């Protein structure tokens, strides 16, 4: 069978370091064309992947079997809608949309047209999250009462770009960036949410979108999630701290896959998703605990599942209905932070 031709819209951080190398490493997929207006990036696309560089997304419609939208957040909905109307299945980088209503409309359109629509929630395949998921589902923690989850960085000097300098119309800021992952993971681990409280601030001069955000979720089962996304943390908290009736799991440090992709490694490199033993988390109590091997990170599984969905009719790797649920929580968090109150769902 011939490879499915993938048209990638956008070759910034998401396109260059995540989507392009993952697509290129996936059997059955071929990166055929990339939309970028940057001459240097266009040259890299041609040299590294043998793909065409084009200047407009519409140039992809007649020469692609799958469209991947990895452009700025404000363009996700219109580009995904245009691709679907051109008869093409679509992968959209997170966040799928600014609102749950927009996401529902896209999901409805994809359903009416009989086309796959899925969202690149790659942090579901982080090794630390896969480990947390295993520990929660196995019962080794007992009944989980609290999840603490963080994506914190120390970036006192802004990097610039639309994520930091753009206003609400750009769907920038950490609530919708890292918060999309934090909320998605909390829902996966602990289920539906009934109440949302959030604090969202801009700490650095010249930045227009939130760079210091906290979200508290009350889950229908009674557990609570406390989630942090920050760019101004000179001392980083644990990536995960999960407390149960029998034991707790504490894990420091981020998943290794992003750094390895940025360093130029590919997902088929030996040990690509393996974390060194000294970075493993621990399970137990303060009096008695032991290291727990971090599950190998598996970003490559996302596009393998995309290929299986298109070839064999398997479910997409991320059900967009689950993304609508997460967007509902993010909208409530934005409202909570603005109005200084708890929002009931």
**Residue 261 — very low, low, confident or very high, per pLDDT cuts 50/70/90?**
very high
The pLDDT mean for the chain works out to 97
Judged against a pLDDT cut of 80, whether residue 232 lies above it is answered with yes
Does residue 8 contact residue 57 with C-beta atoms inside 8 Å?
Answer: no
- The band of 329, judged by pLDDT with boundaries at 50, 70 and 90, is very high
pLDDT per residue as tens digits for the range 269-321 = 999 999 999 999 999 999 999 999 999 999 999 999 999 999 999 999 999 99
pLDDT of 38 reads 95
Q: What is the pLDDT of residues 13-42, one digit of tens each?
A: 999 999 999 999 999 999 999 999 999 999
Mean pLDDT confidence for 176-189: 98
pLDDT in tens, 124-163: 999 999 999 999 999 999 999 999 999 999 999 998 888 8
Percent of the chain with pLDDT over 90: 96
Q: Which helix (H) or strand (E) holds 163?
A: helix 162-165
Quick one: pLDDT at residue 166?
82
Confidence of residue 168 (pLDDT cuts 50, 70, 90): confident
What pTM did the predictor assign?
Answer: 0.96
Residue 198 three-state SS: strand
User: In degrees, to the nearest 5, what angle opens at C-alpha 181 toward C-alphas 10 and 136?
Assistant: 145
SS3 308: helix
Q: What are the b/e assignments for 26-49, b being 16+ CB within 10 Å? A: beebbbbbbbbeeeebbebbeeeb
Range list for CATH 3.40.50.720 in the chain? 4-120
Q: CATH 3.30.360.10 spans which residues of the chain?
A: 123-298+328-344
- Give 105's pLDDT tier (boundaries 50, 70, 90): very high
Mean predicted confidence (pLDDT) in 68-95: 98
Each as own residue / partner, the long-range contacts of residues 11-14 (CB below 8 Å, 24 or more positions apart, any chain) are: 11/35, 11/36, 11/38, 11/41, 11/44, 11/45, 11/70, 12/70, 12/71, 14/70, 14/93, 14/120
pLDDT of residue 165: 86
**What homologous superfamily does CATH list for 123-298+328-344?**
Dihydrodipicolinate Reductase; domain 2 (3.30.360.10)
4-120 has which CATH code? 3.40.50.720
- Rounded to whole angstroms, the Cα distance separating 76 from 341 reads 30
């Amino acid at each position: 069978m011939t490879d499915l031709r993938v048209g990638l819209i956008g070759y910034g951080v998401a396109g260059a370091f995540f989507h392009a190398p993952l697509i290129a490493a996936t059997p059955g997929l071929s990166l055929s064309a990339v939309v970028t207006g940057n001459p240097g990036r266009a040259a890299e696309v041609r040299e590294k992947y043998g793909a065409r560089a084009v200047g407009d997304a519409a140039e992809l419609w007649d020469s692609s079997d799958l469209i991947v939208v990895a452009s700025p957040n404000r363009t996700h909905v219109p580009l995904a809608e245009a691709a679907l109307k051109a008869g093409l299945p679509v992968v959209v980088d997170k966040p799928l949309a600014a609102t749950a209503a927009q996401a529902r409309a896209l999901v409805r359109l994809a359903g009416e047209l009989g086309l796959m629509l899925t969202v690149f929630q790659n942090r579901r395949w982080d090794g630390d999250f896969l480990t947390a998921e295993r520990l929660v589902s196995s019962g080794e923690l007992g009944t989980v009462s609290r999840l603490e989850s963080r994506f914190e960085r120390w970036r006192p000097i802004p990097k610039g770009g639309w994520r930091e300098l753009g206003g609400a119309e750009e769907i920038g800021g950490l609530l919708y960036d890292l918060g999309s992952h934090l909320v998605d993971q909390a829902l996966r681990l602990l289920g539906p949410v009934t109440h949302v409280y959030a604090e969202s601030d801009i700490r650095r001069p010249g930045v227009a979108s939130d760079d210091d955000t906290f979200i508290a979720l009350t889950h229908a089962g009674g557990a609570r999630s406390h989630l942090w996304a920050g760019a101004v943390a000179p001392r980083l908290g644990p990536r995960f701290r999960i407390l149960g009736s029998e034991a707790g799991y504490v894990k420091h440090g981020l998943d290794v896959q992003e750094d390895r992709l940025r360093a130029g490694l590919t997902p088929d490199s030996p040990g690509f998703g393996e974390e060194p033993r000294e970075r493993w988390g621990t399970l137990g109590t303060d009096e008695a605990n032991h290291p727990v091997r971090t599950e190998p990170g598996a970003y490559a599984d996302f596009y393998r599942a995309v290929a299986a969905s298109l070839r064999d009719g398997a479910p997409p790797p991320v059900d967009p209905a689950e993304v609508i649920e997460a967007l509902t929580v993010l909208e409530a968090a934005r409202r909570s932070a603005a109005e200084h109150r708890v929002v009931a769902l």
